[in-house]
Structure formats: structure tokens, C-alpha cells
Structure 1
Amino acid sequence: MQEQGISHLSPALKTWRDLSEEDRDLRIRALLTISAMRKGASLTKAAKEQGITSKQAAAHLGKYVHKKKGRWIATHTDKIERGRWFYSDGERISVIINDSRDASLISKYLNAVRWALKSGDESILQSFKGVKVTDVDGGMHCFRN
């Protein structure tokens, strides 16, 4: 039996680095779709709002969405690789993470940074002091020391 290469894998199983630019865009849209599903939207509606088909979304979400009684259901968390940026020790960095909880934490941090800059109240960022996220290579990145 001939071994198939990575190009034959489901898009959900591919690493972020192995995705084409087009597939990265589809994955980002699929991740926004699953986020909306977790807030109550249907797969079809959420995918349509992101400009992709439900078939494309399901392909990029893999086992993190499944049908139950004819309706697509999203898992509470996922381990899908995605690229994100944030500020670490005062510098903007880009990382590849594979945990939806870390992605959510990064979003909360970036919102806190936005509010701190808008209000001038740096204490908004205090709860992120010493908080770290781990990238796919095992590197630890601290939001704020």
C-alpha cells in the first residue's frame, strides 16, 4: 500500500505551517464559524456569515464539530493550530498555538490592552501579569512581567 503524503490529509489535521495561504484563510474563517457556533449560531448561518460553505467549515474543523440529531454541534474547546499575534514583554510577537483556550486568552488580553490605552488605566492589565501561553513548539510567552 502506498503511503499518502500530507497533502491528502483533511485540512483540519494539517499544521498551520503546512497550509497554503488559501487554506489558512479558510481555517481562520472556520475558526470564526466555530466561535459563533459556541455562542448559539448554526454551522450553516455562521459559515455563511464568514463567506464559506458549511462543507468547507466542517472540513477545517474536523472532529471539533459533529452532528447530533441532525444539527451540527461544536465542542467546547479545540486543538486546531492557528497563528496569533500579541504583545509579550512590550514587543509584538507572532506565535502558532493549538489551543482555543489560549486563543481566547490572547483575545481577552488584546481587548484589555485596547481598553488600557483608551482609558490610560494600566491597572486593567494587572490580571495578565505573569500569565503565559505555550506555542506549538513548546515555547512559553508571557503577556506581561
Structure 2
Amino acid sequence: MGRPRFSRKHRTYGEWLNAQSRTSRYAKGIIRKHQYSPDKSLKQLRNLKISDYDLSNTVWQNLSSSQKRDRNLSLEILRKMRHGKTLSEATSKLGVNKQFALKHLGTHLEKEGGRWQVTKTDSIQSEMLIYSEDEGVTSIVVTNSRDRSRIGKYFAAVQKALKTGDPSGLEKFKDMKIKDADGNEYRLETSLERLYEIGETIEEPEFLEIYKS
């Protein structure tokens, strides 16, 4: 059985889309919803709640365990696309599809000029480990790509310092503060001696999830 008629006036979504310029806020909403659910009619799309399909704005603590894993995977899609990969290349590499990306990246993924693009920055929450001056190894929920990038660069500098014994690469992170989703601030540990101590307490430092998007 084929798809149902899209609307009273238009047999298919394509006919509706090309019937006139679809630049209004209403039309853009329908287009967005159709990307999530391409099998639904116009009436069904009108009644569709984006929040049921877009998890990008859901706070970290409200996600299920599987949704948290999916979010981390979607952030890897963002990272790859910000480094030049197409959506199809990024999703294929990670074994997911476009609908998965749309569901977890929301409006941070947009189609422009026939090509899918990602925003330069985002405000998607994710959980990351840091080396804190006060708490040592601790897990915090960060709220944007800027902080994910800062933490990623910090860990790259930490790894280099631990391997070479040269702490100069950590200078730029002195007094740097990372704010979590609750507004708490954390200073990144930059003492090489303290970092060696922390490293000895971690059996597998490779497990750290670092996003450089």
C-alpha cells in the first residue's frame, strides 16, 4: 500500500512543497516535521509535536541511559561534519541514519542549498570527565560545544605533558573555569605533579569521552 494523500489539494509532499514559496514560519515548521516523519500527511504533521522527535534540547539528566549513549554518538556526527564530512559520510561511518541525526541534533542540523549543514556552535548538554583542582577526577554536565572543545584541548595538553614531562602546554588552562549545567564552576588541574597522582588512580584513562566539536 502506498502513502496516503498528503493533503486535500496535493497528492504528495513534493507537490505541496513546489506549489508555492514555502518561506513562512508555518511552512518551515511543516518542512521540518516532514524530515522527521516523511510518511505522514499534512494534517498529521500539523498535530505533530517536535519535542516528541527532537531530543537535542532535553537536559542530560532527563535522558534515559540509551538516549545518553545516542546523544554522545550524535555529538560525534557534529564533530565529523564540523571537520568537513557530509551528513551521509558521518552517519555511515557511525552506523546510523539521517533520522537518527535529526532526532538528536534538532535545529543544529539544517539543510541549506540542498546540502545538510551543522551549526558552528551548539547548546547540547553532555556529560564529561575533567581533572578538577578541588575534586580530582570528576564528572560534570557541560552545556555547549565551546566547553566540550575546551575540555578536549585540555586533555590533549594533559596527555602531552604526562608523556614529555613538560607542563608548558598547560599554562593556557591555568585559572580556566568550566561551568556545569547547575552553574557550578570548576578549575582545571594544571599541576603536573598532581596530574601524575591523578593518572595513577585511573586504570584506563582511554575511557574518557572527549568531544572536540
Superposition TM-score, scaled by structure 1 size? 0.90
Unaligned runs of 5+ in 2: 1-50, 191-213
Q: Secondary structure at the match of 1:37?
A: helix
CA RMSD for the aligned pairs?
A: 1.5
Q: Which residue of the partner structure matches residue 55 of structure 1?
A: 99
The alignment-based identity, stated in percent, is 35
Whether the aligned pair in 2 keeps the contact of 1:130 and 1:144 (CA below 8 Å) is no
Structure with the greater alpha carbon radius of gyration: 2
Distance 1:125 1:68 in 2: 39
Instruction: Give the Å deviation of 1:126.
Output: 1.3
May I ask how many residue pairs the two structures share in their alignment? 139
Residue 68 of structure 1: which of 93, 97, 112 is its match? 112
Distance 1:51 1:20 in 2: 21
Please identify which structure carries the higher strand content.
1
Q: Which residue of the partner structure matches residue 126 of structure 1?
A: 171
Distance 1:10 1:132 in 2: 30
Q: Which residue of the partner structure matches residue 184 of structure 2?
A: 139
Superposition TM-score, scaled by structure 2 size? 0.62
Instruction: Give the Å deviation of 1:20.
Output: 1.1
Distance 2:107 2:101 in 1: 11
Distance change >3 Å, CA 9–CA 52, structure 1 → 2: closer
Moved over 3 A (4+): none
Q: Which residue of the partner structure matches residue 155 of structure 2?
A: 110
Show CA shifts across 1:116-142 (max 9, x none): 000011222111100011101001111
